[in-house]
Amino acid sequence: MSSIAVSTTINGDDVEYLCQADETLLDVLRNRLGLMGAKEGCGTGDCGACSTIMDGRVVCSCLVLGAEAEGRSIETIEGMANGNELHPLQSKFIEHAALQCGICTPGFLMAAKALLDVKPDPTEKDIRFWLAGNLCRCTGYDKIVRAVQDAAQEMKGARA
Amino acid sequence: MRYERPQTITDATALLAGAAGNAHVLAGGTDLLVRMQNDDFDAGLVVDIKAIGGMCEIVESDNAFTIGAAVPCAALSEHAALVAAWPGIVEAANLIGSTQIQSRCTVAGNLCNASPAADSVPAMVAAGAQARIVGPDGTRMVAVEDIPQGPGKTSLEKGELIEAIVLTKPGPRSGDAYLRFIPRTEMDIAVVGVGVWLALDESGLVQEARVALGAVGPKVVLAQDAAAAIVGTPLDDAALDALAAACSAACNPIDDKRGTVTFRKQVAGVLARRAARIAHERAGVRQ
Ligand code: FES
Ligand code: FES
């Protein structure tokens, strides 16, 4: 099978790679580009552990073909912190102990970032519905919701 | 598997028509990529339609909305004029899957996947939506209810694909609604789904109606007797009783782990009543 050449943007950088037709974006990120932040929990769009942002919308990268990234703009967890400075969502996840094993965490962070990008002041209900496609087997979700609320507050304060 | 991303619809139909084995259209991929995870499934030729002009756009004209076949469902709720015109369709489309799925899934894909439980389909059928189908022999407009033929089967011929879903702009005193029953509060497959569209005359009586039922048969049901039961009425209790009875009678469901035959018939009637009331309320405020 001949490879497909893809030019895309990942976390602001121009990236080129070769992939197979049936390879998912998740596999490309992890196996070809060394971006191991996105996790494969299910591979079928059910768990959200592979969440990445594509052209501003949060997607399951396990349900995107690597070839489909051509010309798009992809954001992954690796691009979230600004150098050594954590994103407010990352800091608040640590502060609220919103993670235990951490498998789900990159997905939650990307999904929560996509939420705050479009809705900077979400209600608890907004957060719970928005994150319903991200599964966590450890935390019981409550701490995750609090961390997102707190990060939203802090980001609002920083803008004021 | 072979992946192609044509730039024109003519190239897309030529690719699909010329495929020797399996061929699939890739829009949002939320069904296709899940199937591809199964080792026994050979996707064959996959034609990604998102580079074709207009596929990812909602175009509003004087008398219609044209929703490109690759427009993600999330984009429907971001289109204020579409939400105002067809709230039932937008609500139905937004019930599908998680936020991540909403970013990719499409109403055209929901239709072509041909699951009897597809949420957006009864809403589109009630609204009288049409699919613009392009194939090697040209373009044809087909009523949405004529596309699913049974689980996983559509009336599309080899080489054909849906280019867009076309919704005419609603007239005055009309409204639509879609409701479904699921055992959870969100992200589940409809046990029963009901779409209702109705228009009132100047005196407030129901002048025209369309009622569509999902997940109660091998394909979506356009329940003509149910619509007839409310036409000419003020949608009073007697009319709602007749509507519910006609909906229950129009069901031909299966027993499965999500619902029994008896339950599905009963719930179809209950949901039809509620959806008709919502559509009626919407019709009452639309000039
Ligand atoms: S790995 Fe993609 S949703 Fe679970
Ligand atoms: S922290 Fe373990 S799955 Fe969420």
Query: Of A97-101, B144-148, B157-161, B186-190, which range is least confident?
Result: B186-190
Say yes or no for a CB contact (<8 Å) between A45 and B97. Answer: yes
Does domain A88-159 bear CATH number 1.10.150.120?
yes
Q: What is the pLDDT of residue B185?
A: 81
**Cα–Cα distance measured from residue B185 to residue A111, given in angstroms and rounded to the nearest whole number:** 20
Q: Which of A63, A152, A72, A54 is nearest to A112 (CA)?
A: A152
Asked if A8 is an interface residue toward chain B (Cβ–Cβ < 8 A), one would say no
Check whether B108 has a pLDDT greater than 70: yes
Q: How far is the CA of A137 from the centre of ligand 2 (A)?
A: 5
Assess whether the C-beta atom of A139 lies below 6 angstroms from ligand 2. yes
Q: Hey, what domains does chain B have and what are their CATH numbers?
A: 57-168 (3.30.465.10), 174-285 (3.30.390.50)
Give the one of B1, B99, B104 whose C-beta lies nearest to A63's C-beta.
B104
Q: Are strands B45-48 and A57-60 parallel, antiparallel or unpaired?
A: unpaired
Which residues partner with B48 through β-bridges?
Answer: B26
Give per-residue burial for B154-168: e unless 16+ CB within 10 Å, then b.
bebeebbbbbbbbbe
pLDDT tens track for B214-237: 999 999 999 999 999 999 999 999
Q: According to the model, what pLDDT value does residue B148 have?
A: 98
**DSSP-based three-state secondary structure for B261:** helix
Ligand 1 near A48 CB (within 6 A): yes
Write the Ramachandran bin of A48: left for phi over 0, alpha for psi from -120 to 50, otherwise beta: left
CA A41 to chain CA centroid, Å, is 13
Q: Is a pLDDT exceeding 80 seen at residue A1? A: no
Per-residue pLDDT, averaged over B137-160, amounts to 97
Collapsed DSSP state (helix, strand, coil) of residue A101: coil
pLDDT at B275 over 80: yes
Mean pLDDT of B247-265: 94
The answer to whether residue A59 neighbours chain B at the CB level (below 8 Å) is yes
**Residue ranges of domains in chain A:** 4-79, 88-159
Closest to A93 measured CA to CA, from A112, A69, A70: A112
The hierarchical CATH code for the domain A4-79 is 3.10.20.30
Query: Would you say residue B205 has pLDDT above 80?
Result: yes
Does residue A136 line the site of ligand 2, with CB under 6 A? yes
**Among B62, B58, B119, residue whose Cα is nearest residue B83:** B58
Question: DSSP for B17-77?
Answer: HH-SS-EEEESS-TTHHHHHTSTT----EEEE-TTSTTTT-EEE-SSEEEEETT--HHHHH
What is the reported pLDDT for B168? 98
What is the Cα–Cα distance from B211 to B247, expressed in whole angstroms? Answer: 8
**Alpha-carbon separation of residue B254 from A16, B95, B114, B150 (angstroms):** 50, 23, 17, 13
Q: Say how far apart CA B254 and CA B257 lie, in whole Å.
A: 10
- Quote the pLDDT of residue A86: 98
| Closest CA–CA distance from residue B37 to any residue of chain A (Å) | 7
Across the interface, do B33 and A62 touch by the CB < 8 Å criterion?
yes
Give contacts of A111 with chain B, Cβ < 8 Å: 99-100
Is the beta carbon of A103 within 6 A of some atom in ligand 2? yes
- Predicted structure pTM score: 0.96
Which of A39, A77, A93, A136 maximizes ligand 2 atoms within 8 Å of its Cβ, making it the mutation to test the pocket?
A136
Give dist(CA B250, CA B222) in Å, integer: 9
